[in-house]
Amino acid sequence: MEEAQGYVLLTGLGLPLLAALILLLLPSSQKMAVRYLSAVIGAILLGLSIYVFLAYQASGNVIQMELQWPWIEHVGFLGENGISLHLGVDGISALLTLLTGIVAFAGTLIAWKLEYRTKDFFILFWVLISGVYGTFFALDLFFFFFFYELAVVPLYLLIGIWGSTRKEYGAMKLTLMLVGGSVGIWIGIFAVVHEAGLGTFDLPTLWEAGRNGALSPEFQKIIFPFFAIGCGVLAGLWPLHTWSPDGHMSAPTSVSMVHAGVLMKLGAFGIIRLGIQILPEGAEFWMPALVVLGTIGALYGAIAALTQRDFKLISGYSSVSHMGYVLIGLGTLHAVGVTGATLQMFSHGVMTALVFLLIGALYDQAHTRDLSDYGGIAKVMPLWVIAYVMAGLANVGLPGLSGFTAEFHIFVGAFHTYPVFGGLAILAAAIAAAYMLRMFGVVFFGPLNPRWSDLKDLSPMETISAVLLILSMLAMGLWWSPFTDRLENTILNLPGVTS
């Protein structure tokens, strides 16, 4: 059974690659075939992700569905046991796998109406998705990094070719900053493998090394920033967040969705996988700094969003703010706080994906993202407005939607360890209400600007995606114990996490 489940994971990262390969062979004029194939793959991956999430036993081992194939052994500096394709999920990655499935499927449907170089788009898209799955599944440092990069690099082309506003700038900045972060991670990886002296890249082995003192505290303190900053760039760590507003502004809709929805989580996930799990002592030493930066990010993003005039900039800054919460939650090193951070990753993922979906749907028709151009569009786009209000309320942290569940746990954790920062973080949530409602008021309500009287509401594809995302938000908001149950064991077993 365990073995068979391991193959499920392998399928998860292999199927998108296979899809890319098949697409490569299709003639690019066959746009409908490309779309249907992609939709089918997306649906299969969604099913697979749901399976992984549901099949993860809350009461079982921390790591489940393991699969290990040796790859490079006894090779010089790579060491005795070297690199192996070691896959498996713990509670955190099971939840994020579910997120990936949902967002990727929604993104596929959204890209349905893409006309320009459809085939190329989907090839890159699937490569990216494969990278995401791979990162979540990998239990080997080398493959972790490999898939991490595989997820980051296609972004450059996806934004550069299919983007809009200042796309070259956005794509270049984003890629350079992320790759810059990767350099830090890479250095850290080699330092850890060398220092541990076990001749292996296997993550569980290295986690053990981090716990039992094979990696000295001094070493951990030095190396932790490499991981934290390297992954932090992708997670929108202040002040390395500026790729986020610009990147989101220029990215095409479905890329924005996947990027803000899933990719930013890779960063936070990396901090857990590499930072907290390999270097518990370093994590403990540096966590106050992470909390401070997270709090600054949360407040800073919220305050900056107050006066933005562009939809996507608001969402970009609000992402900075919300990822700030994730960092605060991780920084507490308290079981509830870390749980909250993980829930927030999921919550922010579906919520932002929904927001970008909706912005895209509007922008495709109206070709402006300036708030003040709009007014009263609830009249012509009721579904759109309802969906946006749901997303916005989740953003604000309204109970009943996922945002509250996540933020509440983070606040509880933060108050336990850093009360002042907890208070500031809650303040940021109040500011979120201000910028969200301001946008609602200006754009959705008030008298209808006659210029927009012929806007069309969501298309069927968009509606399906939106409903899927809203259901996810509601599920976590209303009944969150399926989520927390799966996380509990994993998080209590993280080194350094108190409860």
Q: What angle do CA 377, 456, 453 make, to 5 degrees?
A: 50
Rule CB under 8 A: say whether 14 interacts with another protein. Answer: no
CB of 402 closer than 8 Å to CB of 476: yes
With 0-12 CB in 10 A as exposed, 13-18 as middle and 19+ as buried, what is 367? exposed
Non-local (6+) Cβ contacts of 216 within 8 A are: 195
Residues in 264-283 that interact with another protein by CB under 8 A: none
Q: Considering only residues 306, 364, 365, 370, which one is a binding residue for another protein as defined by CB under 8 A? A: 306
Structure tokens at 277: 């799990």
Q: Which is nearer to another protein, 137 or 408 (CB)?
A: 408
Q: How far is the CB of 306 from another protein (least distance, A)?
A: 4
Q: Which is nearer to another protein, 17 or 448 (CB)?
A: 448
For another protein, which stretch binds (CB under 8 A), given 13-21, 92-100, 431-439, 457-465? 431-439
Rule CB under 8 A: say whether 427 interacts with another protein. Answer: yes
Phi-psi region of 456 (alpha: psi -120 to 50; beta: other; left: phi over 0): beta
Q: What angle do CA 74, 10, 89 make, to 5 degrees?
A: 90
Q: How far is CA 228 from CA 90, 275, 288, 339, in A?
A: 21, 6, 12, 19
The secondary structure element, H or E, covering residue 86 is strand 83-89
Q: Which is nearer to another protein, 134 or 413 (CB)?
A: 413
Rule CB under 8 A: say whether 467 interacts with another protein. Answer: no
Q: Considering only residues 195, 464, 492, 495, which one is a binding residue for another protein as defined by CB under 8 A? A: 492
Q: How far is the CB of 407 from another protein (least distance, A)?
A: 9
Q: Mask of contacts with another protein, 336-355, x by CB under 8 A?
A: x--x----------------
Residues in 147-186 that interact with another protein by CB under 8 A: 173, 176-177
Rule CB under 8 A: say whether 457 interacts with another protein. Answer: no
Phi-psi region of 66 (alpha: psi -120 to 50; beta: other; left: phi over 0): beta
Gap between the Cα atoms of 115 and 186, Å rounded: 38
Q: Which is nearer to another protein, 138 or 264 (CB)?
A: 264
Q: How far is CA 249 from CA 158, 173, 214, 242, 372, in A?
A: 13, 12, 45, 11, 17
Rule CB under 8 A: say whether 221 interacts with another protein. Answer: no
The count of residues interacting with another protein (CB under 8 A) is 58
Gyration radius (Cα) of the chain, Å: 21
For another protein, which stretch binds (CB under 8 A), given 12-20, 24-32, 112-120, 332-340? 332-340
List the helix and strand counts (H, then E) for the chain: 21, 2
Q: Considering only residues 55, 398, 455, 474, which one is a binding residue for another protein as defined by CB under 8 A? A: 398
Q: Where do contacts with another protein occur on this chain (CB under 8 A)? A: 173, 176-177, 239, 242-243, 245-246, 300, 303-304, 306-308, 335-336, 339, 376, 378-379, 393, 398-400, 404, 408-409, 411-412, 415-416, 419, 422-423, 426-427, 429-430, 433-434, 437-438, 440-441, 444-448, 480-481, 484-485, 487-488, 491-492, 499
